[in-house]
Amino acid sequence: MTDSTLIPADSLKNQRQTLRHQRRLKGWQGVWRFLFLCGMTGGLIWSVSLPHWLIREKSQIKILGNERLDKEQIHTMLDISYPQLIWKLPIHRLRQQLENQPPLESVYLTRQLLPVEVTVMVKERQPVAEATMEGKAGFIDNQGVWIPRSFYQDAKVKPSVKLKVLGLSPHTLTYWESMYPLIINSPLEITTIDWRDPSNLILHTALGAVHCGTYRDREQFLKQLQGLGKLRQLSSQVAKERIIYLDLSNPDAPSVHLKDIPSESD
């Protein structure tokens, strides 16, 4: 009986020693793992803060896609202080900052590590007409975004447009995106849109001035242009010098205002 009880006791003691040894080993492994991770993290932080990750000057900001605007203009629009770690460069804020500039439609920025630089890909708005807004000269694109002329003073390519728009306002500007396709597809070429009097939109065409009254909506304006197309043969019937203006404020009943013919006695 004595031998049968001593053998399990020795075995149990060995198992306990083995378990204690394993726990100590796991403890040391945890300590070394922690120290290794701390070392890796510290090394990574040190490596990313090295000087060779710095954006030191604007030559490391690469501008692509610009057609009219000079690269220097776009650099000026970017609010970047030098030097700056490339990791800390606020890419999203810089993109939004550029897209808030009227001449730029969209912007895409990417970081590059070898060599260290930032690429700025821009898409410029395409002016379709000269436009005065609240007395200031500028241009307008097909979406109704007004661009002050000052943006193109130093442009490498000046906007070249035939259409002019006078008297734009924030209110009338909201109609432009739906209105512009009708203008470029007008049966009679329109050279100037005069909106200085909101109660009377005036179009300048080969037949002379066309009074459209208050702009209401796209459908009404389309009817007016269709009515203008029906009058394009008017110049073969009436001398252009006699036409004061065409009245299309009511497209269902267009009228022509003419100068009186001097009598022979006069």
Q: What is the per-residue pLDDT for 32?
A: 60
Residues 6+ apart with CB under 8 A from 167: 132, 194, 195, 196, 197
Give 224-234 pLDDT, tens digit per residue.
999 999 888 88
Mark whether 112 and 228 lie in a shared domain: no
Look up the pTM and report it. Answer: 0.75
**pLDDT tier at 157, thresholds 50, 70, 90:** confident
Assigned domain for 264 exists: no
Structural domain count of the chain = 3
154 in the same domain as 111: no
Residue 120: band (very low, low, confident or very high) from pLDDT cuts 50, 70, 90: very high
Residue whose tokens read 């796991």: 26
Domain membership of residue 266 (yes or no) is no
Give yes or no: residues 208 and 241 share one domain.
Answer: yes
Pick the last residue of a domain from 32, 48, 64: 48
Q: Which residues of 164-192 are buried (b: 16+ CB within 10 A; e: fewer)?
A: ebbbbeeebbebbeebbeebeebeeebeb
Q: In the structure, what pLDDT confidence band is assigned to residue 27 with cuts at 50, 70 and 90?
A: low
Query: Across the chain, what does the average pLDDT equal?
Result: 84
Q: Which pLDDT value is given to residue 77?
A: 92
Residues 180-203: tens digit of each pLDDT: 999 999 999 999 999 999 999 999
Evaluate whether residue 184 is within a structural domain. yes
Domain-embedded: residue 154: yes
Pairing of strands 127-133, 146-148: unpaired
Which candidate, 66, 179, 73, places its Cα nearest to that of 129? 179
User: Tokens standing for 46?
Assistant: 């040190």
Where is the domain boundary, 124, 144, 162?
Answer: 124
In terms of phi and psi (left: phi > 0; alpha: psi -120 to 50; beta: otherwise), the region of 145 is beta
Does residue 81 sit in the same domain as residue 109?
Answer: yes
For residue 88, what pLDDT is reported?
85
- 109 pairs with which residues across the strands? 120
**Statement to judge: residues 41 and 94 lie in one domain:** no
Position 242 pLDDT exceeds 70: yes
Same structural domain, 219 and 204: yes
For residue 65, name the pLDDT band (cuts at 50, 70, 90).
Answer: very high
Same domain, yes or no: 136 and 203: yes
Between 188 and 8, name the one with better pLDDT.
188
The residue-averaged pLDDT of 244-260 equals: 90
Does residue 5 surpass a pLDDT of 60? no
Average pLDDT over residues 10-16: 63
CA angle 136, 142, 145 (to 5 degrees): 40
Choosing from 99, 124, 149, the residue where a domain stops is 124
Residue 263 lies in a domain: no
For residues 20 and 87, membership in a common domain is answered with no
What's residue 210's pLDDT?
A: 95
Same domain, 17 and 40: yes
* Residue 191 covered by a domain: yes
Asked whether residue 263 carries a pLDDT value surpassing 70, the answer given is no
Nearest by Cα to 156 from 69, 226, 27? 69
Tokens (6 digits) for 138: 């500028």
24 shares a domain with 59: no
Q: Convert the pLDDT of each residue in 35-62 to its tens digit.
A: 556 655 544 454 444 556 888 888 999 9
Supply the pLDDT for residue 158: 87
pLDDT-derived band at 9, boundaries 50, 70, 90: low
Same domain, 234 and 138: yes
* 106 plus 120 within the same structural domain: yes
What's the CA gap between 123 and 108, in Å, rounded?
9
* pLDDT for res 6: 46
Q: Which domain holds residue 218?
A: 127-258
Question: For residues 200 and 223, what is the distance between their CA atoms, to the nearest angstrom?
Answer: 16
